[in-house]
Amino acid sequence: MFNLWDYQEEGVSSVTDFFDHGGKSVILQSPTGTGKTLIASTFIERMKEQSKPVYFVTSSGALLWQFSKHLESMGMHHGIIKSGCPTLRYRVQVISVQSLMNRISMIDEPYAIIIEESHHAAANQFMNIIQKWPNVRILGLTATPQRTDGKPLNMFEHLILARPVRWFMDNYYLSDFDYYIPAECNTDGVHRQYGDFKASELNEKLKNDKTRIGNIVEYYEKYARNLPAIAFGTSIADSEDIAGRFKDAGYDMIPIHSKIEGNVQKILDRARDGKINYISSCDLIGEGISVNGLTVELDGRPTDSLVVKLQHSGRVLRACYAPGFDLSTVSGRRDAIIAGGKGKAQILDFSSNYLRHGLPDDERTWSLTGAIKEKTASKYKRCPSCQRPVLTFAATCPYCSYEFPKQAAPPEETPEREGELIPIGELKSADKNEVTIKIAREAHDLKSAIRIGKENGINSQGAWYIWCRVLKKSAHVGKK
C-alpha cells in the first residue's frame, strides 16, 4: 500500500462517499501527474478488502499494461481481459474497452468500473454497460473532463474537481514551467473536424512552413540542451521528420507511433527507465502515458482542442523527487524537486497554441454539460525579445524588461456610413488586437495588410495605422 497525499485521500473519500450515498456514476478530475492511477488502485484495494469486485477499463493497450504493472507493484493479483488473453475470474480485472463490449455477457457484474481517460467515454458504450449491469457503479478518471467535440459528458451524474493546476505547482506536487514561443504558426483556412483541426488540411497547410520546426533543434539547444524531451508532430510523418532532425544533430530521438517497428511497450519501458531521453509522437503518448523523467515539451502540433493541448503539456509537468527528503512538507518537496535535477519543465511552443488555449496553469471551468466554444482574443502576446508569453495589456515584459511600443491614438476620423467600413479607432480593444495579430501573421506588405484589414472590418486608414505605426513596417508596396 502506497501512502497517499492529502488531496489523493480526499479524492478516494469523495468517491467512496458518493457511492455509499446511492450515487451511480461520477468523474474525478485531477491534473495530469497528480496521481489518479494511485487513487484508482487505492480505491480498488479498499473495495477488494470488502470482497467487492472492481474492473479497470482503458481504451489504450499501452495504458492497460501500464496499470497492470502498477497493480503488480502493489502486490495485487488481477486478471487481464483483452484480445489474445483468456477470460479468467478475478475480483480485479484490467480490461480494454473493446474487450469489455465483446465479453460483457461472459463476465460477472462487478461492484464498480473505473474508466481511464473518461472524457473519451462513448454514450452508447456507457448505456450498454448500464443495461447489462444495472447495479454497477462507474468512476471516470481524467485531467480534462471535456470531450474534444465539445459535447456533454452528462451520462455521468456528478463531477468531483481537484484544486487548480497552479495550486499543485505552488505546493510542489507538480513541476513549474518556463514557456517559450520560438515561432508562430498560421492555421488560417484550416477547417475543424471532431473538435480539432482537420488533419489533412493542417498537414497541407504546414508542409511548406519552414518556421514551425525548421529550427526546432537549435531552440531546444538554446533553452533546454541535454534535458529529456518529448516532441509532438501533426502526423506520423511529421514526428518522423522531427526525430530525423534531432538524429542529424546527434540526439537519439525515437519516434513512437502505431507503425513503428518493434514493441511499443518495450520502447516506453526503456524511456521510463531513463534509457531513452528523446521521443517524438503525434497521438500515441498524448494521454495517460507516464514517463516521469521527461522535462521538455517541443510542441510542433497546432491543435484547436484544449484537451489535446493540456494532455500534451501534462507529459512534462510531473514532479521528479530526489530521495532522502521529507515529502510531507512544502519545503521538502521543493528541495526534492530541485535536487531531482528537473527543476522547471521547459515548454517550447512552435504552434501558437498559447494563443488558442493560454498556458497550462490558467484557471479553467470544467463541466459535464459540454464546452462552450467562443472565439475570443488571446490574453497573451509574444515578447519579441525573450520569446515569452506576456499578458496583452503589459507595457513591459516581466521577464526581460522589454518595453512594448506604445500605441498612439489613431487620427480622428468621421465614422463611415452604414454599409461601409468603420475606422480602427472605433473598434473594441479585443477586436483591434485580433486584427493586429491577423495582419502581423499574414500580411507581406501594405497592400496585403489593407486587404486583410478590409476582410476583417476596418478601412484602409486603420490597416495603414496597424501596418506602419503598430507593427512599424515599411509603407512601400512589396517591401517588409
Instruction: Say which residues have a Cβ less than 8 Å from residue 371's Cβ, sequence separation at least 6.
Output: 146, 147, 150, 306
Q: How many domains does the chain have?
A: 3
pLDDT computed for residue 98 by the predictor? 86
Which of 136, 162, 188 terminates a domain? The answer is: 162
Instruction: Say which residues have a Cβ less than 8 Å from residue 313's Cβ, sequence separation at least 6.
Output: 32, 177, 297, 299, 347, 360
pLDDT at 309 over 50: yes
Q: Coil, strand or helix: which one is 215?
A: coil
| 366 class by beta-carbon count within 10 Å (0-12 exposed, 13-18 middle, 19+ buried) | middle
Same domain as 150, residue 16: yes
Same domain as 188, residue 326: yes
* Domain with 86 in it: 6-162
pLDDT computed for residue 305 by the predictor? 92
What DSSP character marks residue 286? S
Same domain as 117, residue 197: no
pLDDT at 472 over 80: no
Same domain as 155, residue 175: no
Is the CB of residue 15 less than 8 Å from the CB of residue 40? no
Mean pLDDT of 209-237: 93
Beta strands 54-58 and 25-29, pairing class: unpaired
Alpha carbon distances (Å) from 329 to 6, 35, 257? 11, 18, 40
Same domain as 320, residue 173: yes
pLDDT at 409 over 60: no
Mean pLDDT of 359-382: 85
- Distance between CA atoms of 134 and 118, rounded to whole angstroms? 19
Which of 107, 129, 162 terminates a domain? The answer is: 162
pLDDT computed for residue 476 by the predictor? 62
Kindly indicate the confidence band of residue 417, based on its pLDDT and cuts at 50, 70 and 90.
Answer: very low
- Distance between CA atoms of 317 and 342, rounded to whole angstroms? 10
Determine which helix (DSSP H) or strand (DSSP E) holds 240, and give its type and residue range.
Answer: helix 236-248
Same domain as 271, residue 142: no
Q: Is residue 146 part of a domain?
A: yes
Maximum mean pLDDT: which of 283-297, 373-387, 454-468: 373-387
Q: Is residue 99 part of a domain?
A: yes
CATH of the domain at 92: 3.40.50.300
The C-alpha angle 166, 170, 175, rounded to 5 degrees, equals 80
More confident residue, 237 or 433: 237
pLDDT computed for residue 285 by the predictor? 62
pLDDT, tens digit, 9 for 90 and up, residues 49-79:
999 999 999 877 777 888 888 888 888 889 8
pLDDT, tens digit, 9 for 90 and up, residues 311-364:
999 999 999 999 999 999 999 999 999 998 888 999 999 999 999 999 999 999
Which of 162, 191, 218 terminates a domain? The answer is: 162
- Least-confidence region, from 51-60, 380-389, 434-443: 434-443
Same domain as 19, residue 135: yes
- Distance between CA atoms of 190 and 203, rounded to whole angstroms? 10
Kindly indicate the confidence band of residue 27, based on its pLDDT and cuts at 50, 70 and 90.
Answer: very high
More confident residue, 383 or 79: 383
- Least-confidence region, from 133-142, 291-300, 422-431: 422-431
Same domain as 174, residue 149: no
Distance of CA 449 to the CA centre of its chain: 33
Same domain as 156, residue 199: no
- Distance between CA atoms of 143 and 118, rounded to whole angstroms? 9
Cell numbers at residue 304, please?
Answer: 484547436
pTM flag (> 0.85): no
Is the CB of residue 452 less than 8 Å from the CB of residue 439? yes
- Distance between CA atoms of 302 and 325, rounded to whole angstroms? 39
Same domain as 284, residue 247: yes
- Distance between CA atoms of 337 and 343, rounded to whole angstroms? 6
- Distance between CA atoms of 382 and 384, rounded to whole angstroms? 6
